């Protein structure tokens, strides 16, 4: 874990000194919610519509972060450094996935607040703890799949095209599960928690794709 922590610390320092991913993701999310607010012509949305707006917006915001995930390694020889260093190469995958998870969490602190103000109305909302749990599981899915796809696409000239083409189909099951899990939280009745079935689907997705990505990343880095 020490190499992963060191690599993660490096990424966080780079983002703090020269912010790129977080401002872009945040601006995209807030702008999209503003567009939905005026485009739908409604001050409040509920149920599946609200869940779909939130999860799809966060998904496309994550794509912006995924595109930038390995840019520093590609431009500054970071891949060669990892290959030459006496460390487990999957430490780079763990660091990148953890970094993307943290970026998403920071973006959601502001984006979800903007979503609530623009599209949920001023009424108290009891579903916040359940939403935090669903978003945490969704972020894990975005992080592990995003890190794998970004490493695959970074060595191609069409990186900005490859990432959404590959990532969106892979992330569709997680997106559907997250939307189904959050829909009851946005109903007029205001369920206090998400359905256990969809939480289990999200958790299983995270486990399967996390293990798969961890297993193949070493071979991907060599190629």
The mean pLDDT of the chain is 83
Question: What's the predicted TM-score (pTM) here?
Answer: 0.87
Confidence check: pLDDT of 196 > 70: yes
Confidence check: pLDDT of 183 > 80: yes
pLDDT tens digits along 74-128 = 666 565 566 566 667 778 888 889 999 999 999 999 999 888 888 887 654 667 7
pLDDT at 81: 60
Question: Residue 191: which pLDDT band, with cuts at 50, 70 and 90?
Answer: low
pLDDT tens digits along 117-171 = 888 876 546 677 888 899 999 999 999 999 888 888 877 777 778 888 888 999 9
**Domain parsing of the chain, residue ranges:** 2-222
Mean pLDDT of the 3-13 span: 79
In three-state form (DSSP H/G/I as H, E/B as E, the rest C), the secondary structure along the chain is CHHHHHHHHHHHHHHHHCCCHHHHHHHHHHHHHHHHHHHHCCCCCCHHHHHHHHHHHHHHHHHHHHHCCCHHHHHHCHHHHHHHCCCCCHHHHHHHHHHHHHHHHHHHHHHHHHHHHHHHCCCCCCCHHHHHHHHHHHHHHHHHHHHHHHHHHCCCCCHHHHHHHHHHHHHHHHHHHHHHHHHHHHCCCCCCCCCHHHHHHHHHHHHHHHHHHHHHHHHHHHC
């Amino acid at each position: 874990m020490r190499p992963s922590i060191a690599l993660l610390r490096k990424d966080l320092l780079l983002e703090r000194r020269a912010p790129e991913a977080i401002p872009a993701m945040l601006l995209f999310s807030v702008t999209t919610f503003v567009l939905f607010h005026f485009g739908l012509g409604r001050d409040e949305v509920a149920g599946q519509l609200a869940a779909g707006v939130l999860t799809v917006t966060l998904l496309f915001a994550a794509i912006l972060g995924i595109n930038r995930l390995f840019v520093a390694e590609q431009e500054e020889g970071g891949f060669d450094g990892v290959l030459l260093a006496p460390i487990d190469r999957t430490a780079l995958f763990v660091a990148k996935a953890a970094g993307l998870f943290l970026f998403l969490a920071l973006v959601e602190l502001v984006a979800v607040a903007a979503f609530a103000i623009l599209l949920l109305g001023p009424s108290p909302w009891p579903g916040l703890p359940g939403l935090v749990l669903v978003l945490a599981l969704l972020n894990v899915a975005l992080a592990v799949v995003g890190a794998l796809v970004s490493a695959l696409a970074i060595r191609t000239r069409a990186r900005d095209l490859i990432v959404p083409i590959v990532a969106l189909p892979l992330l569709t099951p997680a997106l559907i599960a997250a939307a189904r899990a959050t829909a009851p939280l946005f109903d007029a009745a205001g369920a206090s928690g998400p359905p256990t079935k969809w939480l289990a689907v999200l958790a299983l997705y995270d486990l399967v794709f996390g293990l798969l990505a961890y297993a193949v990343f070493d071979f991907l880095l060599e190629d």
